Structure 1
Amino acid sequence: MKFVVSSTELLSHLSVVSRVISSKNTLPILDNFLFNLNGNDLEITASDLETTLTTTIKLENVTNDGQVAIPYRILVDTLKEFPEQPLTFDVNQDTLAIKLVSDNGEFNIVGQPAEDFPAKAVVDEAEKMTVKVPAVALLNGITKTIFATADDEMRPVMNGILLEYSAEALTFVASDAHKLVRYKRLDVQADQEKSFILPKKPAGLLKNILGKGNAEVLVEFDSKNAQFTLDQYTLVCRLVEGVYPNYNSVIPDNNPNKVTIDRLDFYNSLRRVAPFTNQASNLVKLSLKGNQIVVSAQDLDFSISAHENLQCQYDGDDMEIGFKSVFLIEILANISASDVILSLSDPSRAGLLFPAVNDNSEEDVLMLLMPMMVSA
């Protein structure tokens, strides 16, 4: 097994797939990349058992097909130090000795048997549903929701992103019980209604590779696994088992008090006031009256406080409501519109935030945040 590959191209692909590799692998073989040379296609795979990511590089200078597992750390660390140049990999299939030849030297690595590498999960042909999704739709859906996922060992379904397919839209939902995000893509429809919960790790991996010039993604899934096929990458992951809570039941349908405000002004004001919140509660108070919103915080333990007045358009009753500042800042950071609408009912009920005007007519973004008790 022998082939020649560009050092920078190989490093670029390895840097992406190595993100799958866990620092706490239970199987030593998972600390390796699986190299599979078949014709002019070099297929490189990394896995943590739950998620498997494969990339393909087209080669021109190839001698003999073959497979070998190569330790990922020494290979990536070595490639980082090479300038752009052709590298020759010469693998002895009997001894698994790997000779890496550069312009100026030779490096010797010992590989592992390819057959020890676990087989990737397969989506059941009889059960699977197949949908083609624009890469930008999948990227935006993950980007807008992944920050709202939970880290809750008791409720694993909350630790992923719900993808719901229907005849009307593809809906992404994430929640940690304090905040909830619902992102709809109206330009993606399916023949039947089905859903799955995508774990956070593969969602993050997809977010990283979706921005690499892909136009469309083939999504195939059954009740246990999902496969995402892109131009140069294929990701297969085990899905989160369980039923996602009925998120629609917590979204209020009657919030008559509406604030329209410049998103960036609101965001920056919260960033300035947040250091003055109590470290335990992180509470920031919003006082709404007329066309003005007062953003305030205080920490009585340290005798510090701050407030800022912001102009807004407010249609509703005078109100004081509290939110956890870090959550409100996160939500505003993940809305791309210049103006946002904060829709409220009363200080004890969830507030809704969404763009005043959607930049994309195919998007429907809604973010929910539970309030905090404001002390008198």
Structure 2
Amino acid sequence: MTITLEAKQLRAIAVEAKDVATSSGGSAPIFSNVLIREEAEGRVVFVATDLDTAIERQLVAVRGDLARAPLRTTVSAKYLADITAKLPKDAQVKLEHADGKLKLTSGRARFVLSTLPAEDFPAFPRADWDADFEIGGNALAELYDRLNFAISTDATRYYLGGIFLHRVEIDGQAMLRAAATDGHRLARAQIPLPEGAEGLPQPGVILPRPALKVIRGLIDHMPPDTEDTPRTIGVAVTSSRAEFDFGKGEHGETRFTCKLIDGTFPDYARVIPTSNDKLLTVEKAALREAVARVATIISDKTRVVKLQLAGELVTVSATSVEAGQATEEVPCSWTGGPLDIGFNAAYLQDVLGAIESDTVAAEIQDAGASTLWRADKDPDALFVLMPVRV
């Protein structure tokens, strides 16, 4: 039972398996291990799970002894990750299983690791999917990047701890809409509904933040888009689980499965303002840099910047008892009368960072009402930010 693999491929799955295994906390020892299962034609499957998520990767190996039974065991994901991290990137790694031990050899380095039986490794059964479709890797990455900052980290509001995916119809066109909120800010983005996603469970599904983080990292390891072969991800969903098939990438063929958040996402449409009658238009980079500079003097307790809107200037200011004052003027277009409005500096920076355009537009009613931010002339993404008293 001997196989040989590239160290860089083994390192990649070992690190991802370690992350999954670590999330299982103090559960049974088998959850700290990664399953190694040799299959036909030199294929080797690695699986790690904490029962909430599972990652499976298939690599191609060179089998050493064709007369022996296929390698099938589990070994500590942590030790496998830590060992392979210290090997040369272009090294070859030989794995040999015998007498309840996994022998790892690379060059002159040799390790003998304890194992647990593969039969004890938990199965993550396949499901009968309600929706099965393909989505562009870039599109999915963009949805995550735009919404990630608004996902709640409050464990008591667990149903806000992810991105809400649901179907909507706008002017006769079906759309896949994503939303996230932590109660202070809200982010929403949408793309045309992929073919096959019509069966997405209603009112929608909530993908948890930890799973989304893994998915985003796996997208980065997919082959780059080409004109003939854009990178796509297979997505299959039920009301309780989702599976993402990344196909063949630089580190092998990867499939990721996760449980969905069992909860009801709030009717977020109620907090999106529809009657804000004043419009601020400003260069995004100029405003973002001004906020960053002015916020330098703010203490962690206040973290508030004030925007003074008047005519063709927005004056960004902050006051600190310990440090003093800071102001900076930024050219803008403002359709209302003079208005002072305050925002949490970090929250405002998050919104500006998620907007993908040179110019941003903010619809404002007054200093106490929620504000609506979006890329200038972009109907597919919007952001709601609550002001704070100044």
Q: TM-score, normalised to structure 2's length? A: 0.89
SS of 2:337's partner is coil
| Aligned partner of 2:165 among 138, 163, 166 | 163
| Aligned partner of 2:208 among 191, 199, 209 | 199
Unaligned runs of 5+ in 2: 224-230, 248-252
SS of 1:371's partner is coil
C-alpha separation between the residues in 1 aligned to 2:160 and 2:243?
21
Residue 290 (1) aligns with residue 326 (2): no
Tell me the alpha carbon deviations over residues 259-288 of structure 1, each in whole angstroms, 9 at most, x when there is no partner: 111111111111111132343231111110
Tell me, yes or no, if the aligned pair for 1:342 and 1:354 is still in contact at 8 Å: yes
Structure-to-structure mapping, 1:99-114, within 5 angstroms: 99-114=103-118
Q: Identity over aligned residues, as a percent?
A: 24
Tell me, yes or no, if the aligned pair for 2:131 and 2:200 is still in contact at 8 Å: no
Tell me, yes or no, if the aligned pair for 1:133 and 1:218 is still in contact at 8 Å: yes
2:29 matched to which residue of 1? 28
C-alpha separation between the residues in 2 aligned to 1:191 and 1:80?
43
Tell me the alpha carbon deviations over residues 324-366 of structure 1, each in whole angstroms, 9 at most, x when there is no partner: 11100111122221111111111111111111144xxxx7111
C-alpha separation between the residues in 2 aligned to 1:166 and 1:208?
28
1:225 matched to which residue of 2? 241
C-alpha separation between the residues in 1 aligned to 2:192 and 2:130?
23
RMSD (Å), alpha carbons: 1.8
SS of 2:35's partner is strand
Tell me, yes or no, if the aligned pair for 1:89 and 1:100 is still in contact at 8 Å: yes
Residue 87 (1) aligns with residue 93 (2): yes
Measured after TM superposition, the shift of residue 98 of structure 1 is 1.2
Structure-to-structure mapping, 1:104-253, within 5 angstroms: 104-123=108-127, 125=128, 128-166=130-168, 168-186=174-192, 188=194, 190-192=197-199, 194=201, 195-213=204-222, 215-231=231-247, 232-253=253-274
C-alpha separation between the residues in 1 aligned to 2:53 and 2:4?
29
My pick for the range that moved more, 309-318 or 12-21, is: 12-21
1:334 matched to which residue of 2? 354
C-alpha separation between the residues in 1 aligned to 2:302 and 2:117?
53
C-alpha separation between the residues in 2 aligned to 1:176 and 1:138?
21
Tell me, yes or no, if the aligned pair for 2:222 and 2:246 is still in contact at 8 Å: no
* Amino acid in the other structure paired with 1:89: L
Q: TM-score, normalised to structure 1's length? A: 0.92
C-alpha separation between the residues in 1 aligned to 2:17 and 2:281?
43
2:338 matched to which residue of 1? 318
* Amino acid in the other structure paired with 2:364: L
SS of 1:286's partner is strand
Tell me, yes or no, if the aligned pair for 2:103 and 2:110 is still in contact at 8 Å: yes
C-alpha separation between the residues in 2 aligned to 1:318 and 1:36?
68
1:53 matched to which residue of 2? 55
SS of 1:21's partner is helix
Unaligned runs of 5+ in 1: none
2:12 matched to which residue of 1? 12
* Amino acid in the other structure paired with 1:110: S
* Amino acid in the other structure paired with 1:225: R
* Amino acid in the other structure paired with 2:232: E
Cα separation, partners in 2 of 1:109 and 1:278, compared to 1, 3 Å: closer
Measured after TM superposition, the shift of residue 188 of structure 1 is 3.2
